[in-house]
A and B are shown apart, each in its own frame.
Chain A
Amino acid sequence: MRRTGLEAVLVPLGAVGATLALFGAFVTAAGQNPFSVYYEMYRGAFGTWFSFQNTLLRASPLMLTALCTALPARLGLIVIGGEGALVLGGLAAAVAGAHLSADSPLFGSGLMLLAAAVVGGLWIALSITLRAYRGVNETISSLLLAYIGIALLNHFVEGPLKDPASLNKPSTRPIPDALMIGSLPGLDVHYGLAFGVVFSVVAWVLMTKTTFGFASSVVGGNVRAARLAGLPVERLMVLAGFLGGAAAGLAGGVEVAAVHGAANASLVAGYGYAGILVAFLARHDPLAIVPVAILLGGINASGGLLQRVFGLPDATVSVLQGLLFVAILASESLYGRLRFFQRSERKAATSKLAVA
């Protein structure tokens, strides 16, 4: 079913509207006025320049981790282990950064991020290789590999790669200040945002305008047909997994190079899992990932105000995200039925007229 015109706009908007209504009811039940809650949320997410930058900052890693789920999804693969690629990417960036000289910062930072992307890519490619050549379910294996990735991070950070000076917060040796990547010019948002937007656009071009993208959607549509057409199904899958993992690994590299300055347990912040939500809400369309990530970033950015102004629990924003997720997924089933809905409405209108 092609989703065009009014339908493609109205159905998601309807889902968002339904979410807002449900969440409003929830907030009312919690004893608050839903309209003032929505006003504060708007203010906390988009209403001021500070809050909008806050939103963009929170959206940046989500764009990259969402690609980790969205790219393989084009080939019918459900990858939910972006968190593992992210933390190992961060670790790789920290290790590379600590060994690079600060003489040419641009080259050094670039190499750090490249290391992060390659390691993250290999991690997801491993999961996909198991799927393509050994029939291991990639959803399960990528999730389990995420736990292993986090365990490896902890092992290296608390063991062989520990900076002896980091006593109670075990970390790798700090990367030189010169290799830290700063904020985007004129913004209080780090370069992760630029990477997120650029990579989403590149992924969209790759998936819609190239032979690779076409072959990928053939694999996603029907693996047998793809094989009959002589497509290298396994290699395509592994490559898509590598690209997705590279995006998540890059997110980890940015966390290290722009925020933490070293790898430690703070890297495990759930960006990988939040990215799954973004990818599904964007229906795995790389371009849609950007606005969806900004929407979720905004919800997260406004969470603090909800706590501080209304005394609502932190879980409130999770409730909103959950409702949004369910509503968007449920609305998928409405495509093509909108017409039926309109017809029945017309019928209802005529019967009302008849009564009158």
Chain B
Amino acid sequence: MPFSSPVRLGRVLESPWKLLTSAAAALALLSCQKAPPAETTGAASAAASASPAAAAPSGLTVGFIYVGPKDDYGYNQAHAEGAKAVSSIAGVKIREEENVPETVAVQKTMESMINLDGAKLLFPTSFGYFDPHILKLAEKYPDVTFLHCGGLYTEGKHPKNVGSYFGYIDEAEYVAGIVAGLTTKTKKLGFIAAKPIPQVLRNINSYELGARSVNPAVQTIVIFTGDWSMPVKEAEAANSLVDQGADVLTAHVDSPKVVIETAERRGVFSTGYHASQAALAPKGYLTGAEWNWEKVYSQYIQKVLKGEKWDHLVRGGFKEGFIKMSPYGAPVSEDAKKKADDAKAKFLDGTLVVYQGPMKDNTGKEIIPAGTSHPQTDIALESMNYLVEGVSGKVN
């Protein structure tokens, strides 16, 4: 399969090295018919396509690329869990690579997965992979499908073989905020965030709005660390927030691991993000806002397997099954569970709108006038640049 197109056959002929190695691999394959994993890649797969018996006719190789470690208890683990789930679909073979920076490295990883592993579908999962890396490769390999996490696809502007998906995870932050708001005794929640970008601000605001919907006196204190993976600063921020009186901590960074561990060590509660961190804080973990990429990935892969058309832009919240909550921890009261479940039910039937007027930001300025409401899909929410009333922190 990998060398079925004339273009790539040309590349093979162009390079004596490649030809030599594929010839060598073909010999190796002839002499030994069993197929260890090494032979599914590279020159060996060139040989595989040469001998029709070795080629799986309807198989799909799917590549997953992560910006950090895939066991980070965070962003990358959430994607890796999705990848693991789809690896059991019949005819699907997955290839994974972790710690791939947003440089030419990711371009080469994608290209290597296409050329050496025969991947026809790629999930480069980091937000920063999209422009320019995915866009560049998508033009070069029009018969490969690139699906990116972040919701950045623009019709007419981006190549046809590119798609983008994202989840309204602030719904889950709202629900986690309700649990936090009903658990806190000091009425102070601590939120450690990477950068004041729209996506992050929306999570912080929804968390505070959720908490305030059940406990109007609750305040959320925000500390921005400046980048996505700064374990030392995250630990310092967590300690500082506990010192300021916060008794529930949460985070929006690539891996909330350090924050959750610090909270547990300091004897305060925590709510998670991206994946479940319950194992890190058996005493204080309340719940968490988790991605459910399994759902998204299996949807896409089923469509690609059947040769159906897939959507270029896919988004969803609780209703679409894109997100989920971590199971409630021991300290969560029955009242909190009930109120959280109620809110979740309202998200499921679409009756709960988080952003509706009148709403003020934390400098007292009106941001949403009375009578206006922004449902989840409203594009206006995607350029959010404020922190709502009750959040203590600064956007810039």
Cβ-neighbour of A43 out of B21, B98, B382 (below 8 A): B21
Query: Quick check: is B51 within 8 A (CB to CB) of the other chain?
Result: no
Q: How far is the CA of A317 from the CA of B18 in the complex (A)?
A: 24
B127 adjacent to A58 (CB under 8 Å): no
Are B97 and A304 touching (Cβ within 8 A)? yes
The reply to whether B226 and A154 contact each other, CB–CB distance below 8 Å, is yes
Of A44, A167, A309, A314, the contact of B382 (CB 8 Å cutoff) = A167
Q: Does B302 contact A (CB under 8 A)?
A: no
Q: Does A168 contact B (CB under 8 A)?
A: yes
Q: A43 and B101: CB pair below 8 A?
A: no
Q: Is the CB of A266 within 8 A of B102?
A: yes
Q: Which of A36-50 contact B (CB under 8 A)?
A: 36, 40, 43-44, 47-50
> Is A17's beta carbon under 8 Å from chain B?
no
B360 at the interface (CB under 8 A from A): no
Assembled-state Cα–Cα distance A169/B105 (Å): 18
Asked if A266 and B101 sit within 8 Å, CB to CB, the answer is: yes
Identify which of B37, B109, B199 gathers the most chain A CB atoms within 10 Å of its CB. Answer: B109
Of chain A, the residue at the smallest CB distance from B15 is A49
Quote the shortest CB–CB distance from A146 to chain B (angstroms): 14
A interface footprint on B95-115 (CB within 8 Å = 1, 0 otherwise): 111111111110011011101
Q: Which of B38-46, B77-85, B270-278, B314-322 is the interface stretch?
A: B38-46
Say whether B104 contacts A154, CB under 8 Å: no
Please indicate which of the listed interface residues A44, A154, A313, A314 has the most CB atoms of chain B within 10 Å of its own CB: A314
Tell me which of A48, A58, A265, A305 contacts B17 (CB under 8 A): A48
- CB–CB A307/B150 < 8 A: no
Q: A residues within 8 A CB of B96?
A: 307-308
Count residues of chain B with CB under 8 A from any CB of chain A: 47
Write out, one digit per residue, whether chain A residues 288-320 have a CB within 8 A of any chain B CB (1) or not (0). Answer: 000000000000110011011110011000000
List chain B residues, Cβ under 8 A from A265.
128, 227
CA distance A50 to B42 in the complex (A): 10
Q: Is the CB of A48 within 8 A of B97?
A: no
Interface residue? B116 (CB, 8 A): yes
Contacts of B199 in A (CB 8 A): 168
Per-residue contact bits, chain B 41-76, to A (CB 8 Å; 1 contact, 0 not)? 111000000000000000000000000010000000
- Which of B190-198, B214-222, B332-340, B341-349 faces chain A? B190-198
Q: Which residue of B lies closest to A268 (CB)?
A: B227
Q: Which chain B residues border A71 with CB–CB below 8 Å?
A: none
As a 0/1 sequence over residues 23 to 47 of chain A, the CB contacts with chain B under 8 angstroms (1 = contact) are 0000000000000100010011001
**Are B108 and A151 touching (Cβ within 8 A)?**
no
Q: What residues of chain A lie closer than 8 Å to B99, measured between beta carbons?
A: 314
| A301 pairs with B108, CB closer than 8 A | yes
Say yes or no: B38 contacts A266, CB within 8 Å: no
Best-buried of A154, A158, A310 by chain B (most CB within 10 Å):
A158
> Which residues of A lie under 8 Å from residue B43 when comparing CB positions?
43, 47-48
- Bound complex: CA A90 to CA B198 (Å): 25
Q: Known contacts A47-B17, A259-B104, A308-B41: does B97 contact A170 (CB below 8 Å)?
A: no
B interface list, Cβ under 8 A from A: 11, 14-15, 17-18, 21, 37-38, 41-43, 69, 95-105, 108-109, 111-113, 115-117, 127-128, 130-132, 150, 195-199, 226-227, 382-383, 396
